[in-house]
């Protein structure tokens, strides 16, 4: 039977832009251009590699996000995913990680899955807990933060680099995995891939389609509140000296003046 691999991606504000907050303390999505979170490109790459080594598999890229998030789907499709599913609903504005995980849990069950592949964290919110929450909600194993992943005979296994040890983890499918930026460079979409992506199907679903009560999501359904957001005063550049053979000495003098030595 064909293996269904879902990869969850997020459309995020470009990290090299000037990211800020809006008045309701949510991310200002108009201030900066958006793109497919770079950390999710690794997830798409691993999903494609697993699919290629498995032969009979389908890669479906899934997102929850505003209309522009279609750009993120497009990119994943041009990398080689087979089709896409997009959930968008104005009631989703300001949804926290629990709301997001509940919508995505409904969504992946609606689509059906053997394996869900996520990135290690988003590049904006950056909590890194969505894959674990999704596994909790779906009641399937989490095999997360992998620098290496493979699926063989209905079993997913991989390497997880922790702070104190590297572990080899293993679980039976269906499962949720997340991969790190050490899992292997993501491929660039080829010209052929970009052209093919234009014809690939994108399915749109709103909260009604998923049977989700709008009151449980959005800012009002959030279990945390941001009370203040203050821009950190930019660091001011100090003195910069050119090394004329005495750079190390001058640096030592600076460190001594600051009592580091």
Ligand X SMILES: Cc1cc2nc3c(=O)[nH]c(=O)nc-3n(C[C@H](O)[C@H](O)[C@H](O)COP(=O)(O)OP(=O)(O)OC[C@H]3O[C@@H](n4cnc5c(N)ncnc54)[C@H](O)[C@@H]3O)c2cc1C
User: By the criterion CB under 6 A, which residues form the site for ligand X?
Assistant: 38-39, 123, 181
C-beta of 20 vs 93, nearer to another protein: 20
Q: Residue 99's binding partner, choosing from ligand X, another protein, none, with beta-carbon cut-off 5 to 8 A by kind?
A: none
Using the rule CB under 8 A, is 215 a contact of another protein? no
The 3-state DSSP class for residue 12 equals strand
Cβ neighbour number for residue 92 with a 10 Å cutoff: 22
Residue of this chain nearest to ligand X (CB atom): 38
The owner of tokens 């005063």 is 233
Query: Could you say which of 82, 157, 202, 214 contacts another protein (CB under 8 A)?
Result: 157
**Residue 99, helix vs strand vs coil:** helix
Q: Does 224 bind another protein (CB under 8 A)?
A: yes
Cα separation, 101 vs 96, whole angstroms = 9
**Residue 46 beta carbon to ligand X: minimum distance, rounded to whole angstroms:** 15
Q: For residue 110, what are its two tokens?
A: 């609606």
Between CA 9 and CA 107 the distance in angstroms is 13
Restricting to residues 11-50, name those near another protein by CB under 8 A: 15-16, 19-21, 25, 39
Q: Which residue(s) pair with 60 in the sheet?
A: 6, 83
Two tokens, residue 160: 């997880």
Nearer to ligand X (CB atom), residue 123 or residue 178: 123
Residue ranges in 57-76 that form contacts with another protein under rule CB under 8 A: none
Environment class of residue 159 by beta-carbon count within 10 Å: exposed (0-12), middle (13-18) or buried (19+)?
A: middle
Applying the rule CB under 8 A, the residues between 159 and 188 that interact with another protein are 160-172, 175, 180-182
Window of 43-51, 57-65, 200-208, 225-233 that interacts with another protein by CB under 8 A: 225-233
Which option in ligand X, another protein, none does residue 191 bind, with CB closer than 5 to 8 A by kind? none
From the list ligand X, another protein, none, partner contacted by residue 227 (C-beta under 5 to 8 A by kind):
another protein
Among candidate residues 147, 152, 186, the one with its CA nearest the CA of residue 42: 186
């Amino acid at each position: 039977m064909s293996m269904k691999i879902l990869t969850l991606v997020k459309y995020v504000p470009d990290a090299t832009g000037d990211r800020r907050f809006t008045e309701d303390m949510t991310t200002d999505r108009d201030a900066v251009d958006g793109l497919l979170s770079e950390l999710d490109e690794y997830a798409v790459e691993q999903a494609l590699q697993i699919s290629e080594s498995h032969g009979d598999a389908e890669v479906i890229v899934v997102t929850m996000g505003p209309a522009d998030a279609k750009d993120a789907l497009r990119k994943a499709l041009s990398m080689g995913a087979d089709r896409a599913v997009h959930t968008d609903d104005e009631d989703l504005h300001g949804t926290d990680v629990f709301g997001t995980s509940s919508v995505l849990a409904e969504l992946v069950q609606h689509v059906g899955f053997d394996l869900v592949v996520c990135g290690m964290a988003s590049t904006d919110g950056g909590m890194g807990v969505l894959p674990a929450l999704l596994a909790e909600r779906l009641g399937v194993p989490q095999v997360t933060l992998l620098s290496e992943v493979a699926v063989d005979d209905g079993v997913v296994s991989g390497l997880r680099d922790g702070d104190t040890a590297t572990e080899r983890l293993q679980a039976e499918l269906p499962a949720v995995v997340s991969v790190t930026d050490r899992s292997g460079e993501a491929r660039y979409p080829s010209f052929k891939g970009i052209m093919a992506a234009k014809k690939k199907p994108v399915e749109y679903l709103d909260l009604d389609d998923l049977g989700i009560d709008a009151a449980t999501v959005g800012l009002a359904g959030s279990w945390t509140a941001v009370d203040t957001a203050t821009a950190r005063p930019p660091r001011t550049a100090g003195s910069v000296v050119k090394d004329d053979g005495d750079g190390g000495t001058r640096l030592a003098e600076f460190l001594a003046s600051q009592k580091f030595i």
